[in-house]
Amino acid sequence: MIKISQLRKSYNGRCVLNIEDFVFEPGGKYALIGANGSGKSTLLKILAGTLAADSGSIDCPSGLRERLGYMPQKPYIYDFSVLKNILIAFTHSQSDSAAALRALRRVGMEDFAAARGSRLSGGESQRVAFARMLVEPHPLLLLDEPTSAMDLNASDQVEQELLDYCSEQTTTLIFATHSLAQAQRVADTLLLMDHGLLAEYGSAAELIHHPQTQEARDFLRNWKVD
Amino acid sequence: MEVLQETINLLFGSNPELRQIIGVTLQMSVTSTLISVGIGIPLGTLIGMYQFRGKGVLMRIINTLMGLPPVVAGLLVFFLLSRSGPLGEYKLLYSVTAMVIAQVLLITPIATGLTASMISQRYPLLRETALGIGLPRRKQLLYTLYECRSSLFSVLFTGFGRAISEVGAAQIVGGNVQYKTRTMTTAIVLETNKGNFDMAIALGIVLLVIAFVIMCLGQYLKDKSERP
């Protein structure tokens, strides 16, 4: 269980995150949705430990922080081979080329194993970065718009692998997305962020079809979701 | 025409004094560049990677020192090494060592400032990814330097360019002593003062040729490091 309380973050006096309380249950799959600048990435960065909150607390089981996996919005692929980019992610277990190649196969990138990381397109980089997440068992996975640069086929493949991984590892998943359809397919709880606040949360059916707050209704006005 | 003839004679002739001058120039430039980047790159990397109180002030001081006038650096080292100075007992004034010390004073802030600025730009993105996959700090540092290797070569070239072309500090602390501390640049100044312009221009061309050859070698190594 990860419990966040009174979490606040400001940049130059502008509040970008202000969450009173929320509990992420173990094994749950949570999608952060909301407009640009609503605080989704900031929340993920604070949870990942790459950004410090101004105040508030995050209570989580000991050792979770050391073993979480985090994929930023613009994942960096190092300028060595794609295979080596995967091998460096074995931080808790012995590097294993066969396992690295299997991870690449899971995202359709096995043919790129020898290619240089710096030569990949945005979508390919995201797939490699995602494969890097798959080689270690992470109790918590934080993904910031993991498929934003991918084509539909690659995005579907990654979504499927993500669901498989989470059920295999009983991983808690928190991801940001601009695709409500993706949020519906992958997550069991949606959190709507608005101007740094957690405006509303609930299952996809509740939040999308029966929004309770004005912020949620405003956000969903332009979306057509089945 | 005379300049051309003079240049060819200098380049392909067997002038022992010129060979000695080139030797001193290279010894001074290469040594001071290596010492400066040896200090400046690690220091700049640490400054670029970490946030700490006073970082802004420190960067402003380094940026100011990047524009330190060579004669001021020369004067400072001159006072340090002169007989009545704090390091006078080592009798280093008018030696190649004194010239290297002055150049290290000039080039280290350049290497530090350029490295810090380049690492500051790239490290946030690299850090996010590195923390996301749980890379230990040592590997984060290693991979950051690897990713910045091309820019680090540029730091090396900039430092060497400054060292080989510098004249003010070398003149003050080296004294332009024949067969001892005379470098290409101080020799050019001497020949110009003597009114021997053909020789001065010819020496200038030789200096450019040497710099070009060394930069080509550096560029080759840089390109090689970027190949898989």
Could you tell me the CATH number of the domain that includes residue B165?
1.10.3720.10
Tally of domains in chain B: 1
Contacts of B125 in chain A (CB under 8 A): 72, 74, 76
State the pLDDT at residue B227: 72
Fold of A1-68+140-152+179-226: Rossmann fold (3.40.50)
Name the least confident of A18-27, B59-68, B117-126, B217-226. Answer: B217-226
- The predicted-structure confidence for A52-70, as pLDDT tens digits, reads as follows 999 999 999 988 988 999 9
φ/ψ region of A195 (left if φ > 0, alpha if ψ in -120 to 50, else beta) reads left
Beta bridge partners of A116: A81
- Residue B47 is part of which domain span? 21-183
The one-letter amino acid code at B201 reads I
Quick one: pLDDT at residue A224? 60
Question: What pLDDT is recorded for position B40?
Answer: 98
pLDDT at B92: 96
Q: Would you state the pLDDT for residue A78?
A: 96
Report pLDDT for A99.
Answer: 94
Residue B5 placed within a domain: no
pLDDT, one tens digit per residue, over A82-99 is 999 999 999 887 888 999
Q: Is residue B26 part of a domain?
A: yes
- CB-based contacts of B141: which residues, under 8 Å, 6+ apart? B45, B49
Residues A223/A182, Cβ–Cβ less than 8 Å: no
Any domain includes B7: no
**What does the pLDDT average to over A5-22?**
95
**In-domain check, residue B81:** yes
Q: How would residue B15 be classed by pLDDT, with cut points 50, 70 and 90?
A: confident
Which pTM was predicted?
0.86
Number of CB pairs, chain A paired with chain B, less than 8 A apart: 57
Q: What is the pLDDT of residue A201?
A: 96
Residue A220 pLDDT grade (very low, low, confident, very high; cuts 50, 70, 90)? confident
Q: Which of residues 36-75 of B touch A (CB under 8 A)?
A: none
**pLDDT band of B53, cuts 50, 70, 90:** very high
Residue of B nearest to A82 (CA): B228
| Domain parsing of chain A, residue ranges | 1-68+140-152+179-226
**Looking at the complex, does the CB of residue B221 fall below 8 Å from at least one CB of chain A?**
no
Contact (CB<8Å) B125/A50: no
Domain presence at residue B189? no
CA B228 to chain A, closest CA, distance in angstroms equals 7
What pLDDT, in 10s, does the model give residues A21-53?
999 999 999 999 999 999 999 999 999 999 999
B94 assigned to some structural domain: yes
pLDDT exceeds 70 at position B228: no
pLDDT at B140 over 90: yes
Q: Report the residue from A67, A72, A92 with minimal CB separation from B129.
A: A72
Interface test with B, best of A66, A76, A80, A85 (most B CBs within 10 A): A76
